[in-house]
Amino acid sequence: MPAEIVYEDEKFSVIKDIKPVAPIHFLIMPKKHLVSVNQLTASDKELIGELFLAAKKVAQDAGVSASGYRLIFNIGEKAGQSIDHLHLHLLGGKTLPWP
- Please identify every residue annotated as catalytic: 87
d(Cα 87, Cα 27) in Å, to the nearest integer? 6
d(Cα 75, Cα 64) in Å, to the nearest integer? 25
The H or E element that residue 16 is part of is strand 12-16
d(Cα 51, Cα 58) in Å, to the nearest integer? 11
